[in-house]
Amino acid sequence: MPAETSTDAAALTIAKFDKALHDRSAFSCGFGPIDNFLKSSLSDQIRNGMVAAWIATAGEDPAVLGFYTLGAMVVRADLGPKKWQSAGVPDIPVIYIRAVAVREDMQGKGLGTALVVDAMRRCLGIADQMGAAAIVLDVLKDEHFERRWYFYEDLGFKPPGDAQNPERVFISLANVRATFEHHRE
Ligand SMILES: CC(C)(COP(=O)(O)OP(=O)(O)OC[C@H]1O[C@@H](n2cnc3c(N)ncnc32)[C@H](O)[C@@H]1OP(=O)(O)O)[C@@H](O)C(=O)NCCC(=O)NCCS
């Protein structure tokens, strides 16, 4: 799989995180824990096999404009939709988006959407190589929760019906595949 994807005509590139290439120093998305994660924990998390990170930059500028991370996870079949409950396994393999964030001055311009769409496309590629039924994430809970929730809902995510994780949303990879195929027609 290529490590780089050009997403639009504005020379935006989404590429695999490279400590030597990507400048994280000025990144701030307005949510401190995510900024700290990017600047202080990401390299260790990657080294330890916890996540892979994908970084958006523009043109030749190495400044990080946005990013997302992916990791493998299982969720309990009985805490999900009927399809999971009837799968005959206790755990459903999914791909977890641990963080999505856009630099504050770039928010509201479509970059967050481009990052999640890029993640969806990438997850389809992963699900071709190993079992993965859905993309899952937990929407951050603070005063902007509702706006975030609508952001993911607009992209097709919905709650799995897991009362233990009320901020959790998912989209099945079958849905993602069908959406991309529909848009190709
Ligand atoms: C949430 C976030 C990734 C969206 O990225 P973005 O580039 O602003 O999003 P887009 O321009 O593609 O889409 C806009 C939609 O995102 C949501 N959104 C925009 N700014 C937001 C903000 N500051 N906080 C929460 N949601 C926001 C809104 O639903 C918006 O739709 P609207 O314009 O119709 O109101 C970005 O705002 C961000 O990084 N926020 C801080 C970190 C964060 O909340 N990460 C998500 C963790 S679950």
Residue nearest to atom 41 of ligand 1 (CA): 29
Domain count within the chain? 1
pTM for the complete prediction? 0.91
Could you tell me the distance, in angstroms and rounded to a whole number, from the CA of residue 106 to the centre of ligand 1? 10
- Tally of residues, the chain: 185
Residue nearest to atom 25 of ligand 1 (CA): 148
- Measured from the CB, is residue 141 less than 6 Å from ligand 1? no
Range of the domain at 48: 4-184
> What is the rounded CA–CA span in Å between residue 165 and residue 138?
8
Could you tell me the distance, in angstroms and rounded to a whole number, from the CA of residue 120 to the centre of ligand 1? 17
- Measured from the CB, is residue 136 less than 6 Å from ligand 1? no
Taking the CA atoms of residue 159, residue 164, residue 167 and residue 172 in that order, the dihedral angle to the nearest 10 degrees is -30
Whether 5 shows a pLDDT value over 90: the answer reads no
Hey, which residues does 135 pair with through a beta bridge? 95, 171
Q: Which two tokens stand for residue 68?
A: 């997302």
Ligand 1 pocket, mutate which of 102, 136, 167 (most atoms under 8 A from CB) = 102
Tell me the DSSP string of 72-89: EEEEEGGGS-HHHHTSSS
Could you tell me the distance, in angstroms and rounded to a whole number, from the CA of residue 78 to the centre of ligand 1? 31
pLDDT level of residue 164 (50, 70, 90 thresholds): very high
> What is the rounded CA–CA span in Å between residue 39 and residue 26?
10
Q: What is the CATH number of the domain that holds 75?
A: 3.40.630.30
Q: Compute the average pLDDT of residues 117-123.
A: 98
Q: Compute the average pLDDT of residues 148-168.
A: 95
